[in-house]
Amino acid sequence: MHRRRAALPRYHRYLNPQAQILILDAGGQYCHLIARKVRDLGVYSEVRASETPAEELGAAKGIIISGGPSSVYDPGSPTVDPAIFTRGQAVLGICYGQQLMAHVLGGGVQKGDKGEFGLATLDLEATADPLFAGLGGRQQVWMSHRDLVAGLPEGFVNVGRTDTCPVAAIAAPARRLYAVQFHPEVVHTTRGKQLLANFVFRVCQCEKDWDASHRAPLIEQEIREAAGKRNVFFFVSGGVDSTVAFALCTRALGNSRVRGVYVDTGLMREGETDFVRRMPGITVECAQEQFLAALEGVTDPERKRHIIGEEFVRVQERVIEARRLLDEQWILGQGTIYPDTIESGGTAKAALIKTHHNRVAGIQKLIEEGRIVEPLKSLYKDEVRAVGRELALPADLLDRHPFPGPGLAIRCLCSDVDAPVRDTADGCVIPVHSVGVQGDSRSYAPVLAIGQLDPARATELINRVSGVNRVIASVAGPAPLTGMQVSASSLTPARLARLRTADATVRRLSHEAGFDRRIWQFPVVLIPLGTADSPDSIVLRPIDSVDGMTAQSVVMEPALLERISKELLGQEGIAGVFYDLTHKPPATIEWE
Ligand code: XMP
């Protein structure tokens, strides 16, 4: 008799996928973004070091070489095993990957001194090639490079160009080799997704085997394997990542084997500790004084991050000691997601852009000892939200804007010295340094302030003016910055309270106006620019993003801006209100 098999739950189809597309990490954060975009197409993809020998890549149907901050002429710059180009496997080079492909195959790469960062218009020839199927014509692309391909390797044709980049898309279809100078993986390249889909399905003939919204049972299985018989102790922040990770652990192991502790560092937003107190299974550890004492007088952003990370570890040790949580029975759980590990230089070659608090030395030691479970470490924010929806976690929790672990500390900028603002033909240079990311490496530079809320002018200036990595517009306060200067200041309880109040005001007003739903995140930053009576100013930094890897500044309605500015200027200690008009890159979302 013929017996019918019970239908397997859908996720079983996706158990243990083998990477069909391998991304070679040429040193940037983009390698992971590409991997994510390929997974979004339903095809499982992983990242490998660029120098991985060709025979270890053999099982994949296609290889993508990522972008990166180096020049192919730099000593020690990332390279690839030349054999990857001669095995008949399809290869796509992106940005640095295009330059590297051209260089390794005997073409020419020209050192650029100006560079091209941001939107550009690509003219792509209509060809019969599967990679470019349906993509011919003019289109918007996103560029981030200095060097250019100047001479094609033998057998290649050039099929795309922009005004500043004469070789923007090349192909050797008979050898299944392709490369583009622009970034198809970022949303600003309007037809980038189609190009990646063409590569994955038409060129590489991949089949769908991955679904980010059906991960929970697999992740739970991984948690059970990592924990064994041990229990999991968790630091939660109230944010999406740690809450989803915590929920996965309790589902995997049961409530009795998972404990959550929330540390009130004194660097939290208004109302946050009360919000977390209402969550089940979590206790609150008060450590305000400990954190503030350790941060007293510190002005350097990297030092702040390290101190906060180390204080977290200290609190952890104290809690563990007091509750005997790290005897053989316990391991530590963390809500680390992919971008956190990338930006801390956690992958093979990513430049250290900033150190995340969950990748400091004390935590590294636990990782080496195999005493950490990080169930979300290969997922991006929107994939984490998809898992959260699968767990039926409440929407108001999943829709929360991301908030950085080090909290308000990295939005409260400090200065070692008093310093005047400097008038230039383009605007006022404010000697407050903030972090940026250009061609995938870190910058730390002053800010340019202009008098009008003019995004087009800001973009033009950021591309042209050297020595600054952000452009902000003065939207309220003395114009043009009359009588304002930067004054020496550190992280004090008074300044943190000032920032906390301003942040709460901005949050309340943008929520009432529905503006928070239009954007991805809204950092509010305190800078030590002001007058004798009011020493600080506020910078508004609303941005839109898909995953935090790239971001666009978003301008709000004038009426809302007016309400916000009025309330902020009425607040004690605030001299001016500014609006950050810089995209990421060249700026980062946070200022530190
Ligand atoms: P950036 O400033 O690098 O930020 O453009 C990208 C995203 O990461 C968040 N962020 C952090 N999140 N710990 C975190 O948990 C951190 O140290 C940290 N630094 C930045 C930032 O808020 C944005 O969403």
How far apart are the CA of 413 and the centre of ligand 1, in A?
A: 15
For helices 558-569 and 493-512, angle between their N-to-C axes, nearest 10 degrees: 150
pLDDT given for residue 250 in this prediction? 95
With a 6 Å cutoff on the Cβ, whether 309 touches ligand 1 is: no
How far apart are the CA of 156 and the centre of ligand 1, in A?
A: 40
310 and 292 co-located in one domain = yes
243 and 366 co-located in one domain = yes
Q: Which of 88, 108, 97 has the alpha carbon at shortest distance from 172?
A: 88
Q: Report the alpha-carbon distance of residue 107 to residue 222 in Å, rounded.
A: 46
313 and 328 co-located in one domain = yes
Residue 590 lies in a domain: no
Write the CATH number for 298: 3.40.50.620
397 and 418 co-located in one domain = no
Residue with the nearest Cα to atom 18 of ligand 1?
A: 404
Q: Report the alpha-carbon distance of residue 481 to residue 530 in Å, rounded.
A: 8
Work out the mean pLDDT of the chain and round it to a whole number.
89
**Half-sphere exposure (CA, 13 Å, Cβ side) for 373?**
27
The answer to whether residue 547 scores a pLDDT higher than 60 is yes
Coil, helix or strand for 234? strand
278 and 393 co-located in one domain = yes
pLDDT given for residue 458 in this prediction? 96
- Counting from 1 in the atom list of ligand 1, the atom nearest the Cα of 239 is 15
pLDDT given for residue 351 in this prediction? 41
Write the CATH number for 431: 3.30.300.10
Domain end residue (candidates: 203, 236, 259): 203
With a 6 Å cutoff on the Cβ, whether 135 touches ligand 1 is: no
Domain end residue (candidates: 139, 174, 203): 203
- Provide long-range contacts, Cβ within 8 A and 24+ apart, for 431-435: 431/486, 432/486, 432/527, 432/528, 432/529, 434/469, 434/470, 434/587, 434/588, 434/591, 434/592, 435/301, 435/353, 435/354, 435/469, 435/587, 435/588, 435/590, 435/591, 435/592
pLDDT given for residue 361 in this prediction? 55
283 and 340 co-located in one domain = yes
Positions annotated as catalytic residues are 95, 183, 185
For helices 216-227 and 381-390, angle between their N-to-C axes, nearest 10 degrees: 100
- Counting from 1 in the atom list of ligand 1, the atom nearest the Cα of 356 is 17
Q: What is the dihedral of CA 308, 311, 313, 317, to 10 degrees?
A: -160
CA dist 519 → 541, 546, 577 (Å): 11, 10, 20
Instruction: List the structure tokens of 265.
Output: 């560092």
pLDDT given for residue 228 in this prediction? 95
Residue 543's pLDDT band, with cuts at 50, 70 and 90, is: very high
Q: What percent of the chain has pLDDT over 70?
A: 91
Residue 222 lies in a domain: yes
| Beta bridge partner(s), residue 262 | 236, 284
pLDDT for 244-268, tens place per residue?
A: 999 999 999 999 999 899 999 999 9
pLDDT given for residue 256 in this prediction? 92
Residue 29 lies in a domain: yes
pLDDT for 467-508, tens place per residue?
A: 999 999 999 987 768 899 999 999 999 999 999 999 999 999
Q: Which residue has the tokens 């192991």?
A: 253
Amino acid at 444: Y
Domain total in the chain: 3
Q: Report the alpha-carbon distance of residue 360 to residue 373 in Å, rounded.
A: 16
Indicate the DSSP class of residue 182. S
Residue 552 lies in a domain: yes
pLDDT given for residue 352 in this prediction? 42
Indicate the DSSP class of residue 571. S
Residue with the nearest Cα to atom 14 of ligand 1?
A: 404
Residue 81 lies in a domain: yes
Burial 283-301 (b: 16+ CB within 10 A, else e): eebebbebbbebbeebbeb
Residue with the nearest Cα to atom 21 of ligand 1?
A: 404
Residue range 560-572: mean pLDDT, rounded: 98
Residue range 448-453: mean pLDDT, rounded: 96
Longest dimension (CA), the chain: 92
Write the CATH number for 162: 3.40.50.880
The answer to whether residue 346 scores a pLDDT higher than 60 is no
pLDDT given for residue 345 in this prediction? 43
280 and 315 co-located in one domain = yes
Residue 6 lies in a domain: no
Which of 34-38, 190-194, 428-432 shows the lowest per-residue confidence on average (mean pLDDT)?
34-38
Coil, helix or strand for 389? helix
With a 6 Å cutoff on the Cβ, whether 583 touches ligand 1 is: no
With a 6 Å cutoff on the Cβ, whether 107 touches ligand 1 is: no
Residue 495 lies in a domain: yes
158 and 248 co-located in one domain = no
How far apart are the CA of 61 and the centre of ligand 1, in A?
A: 34
How far apart are the CA of 420 and the centre of ligand 1, in A?
A: 30
Residue 1 lies in a domain: no
The answer to whether residue 7 scores a pLDDT higher than 50 is no
pLDDT given for residue 16 in this prediction? 54
241 and 351 co-located in one domain = yes
With a 6 Å cutoff on the Cβ, whether 548 touches ligand 1 is: yes
The Cβ of residue 382 has, within 10 Å, a number of other Cβ atoms equal to 15
399 and 436 co-located in one domain = no
170 and 273 co-located in one domain = no
Which residues neighbour 384 within 8 Å (Cβ) at sequence distance 6 or greater? 240, 241, 244, 337, 376
- Whether the CB-CB separation of 553 and 567 falls below 8 Å is answered with no
The CA angle 453-545-458, to the nearest 5 degrees, is: 25
Q: Tell me which residue range forms the domain holding 182.
A: 21-203
196 and 233 co-located in one domain = no
- Whether the CB-CB separation of 204 and 90 falls below 8 Å is answered with yes
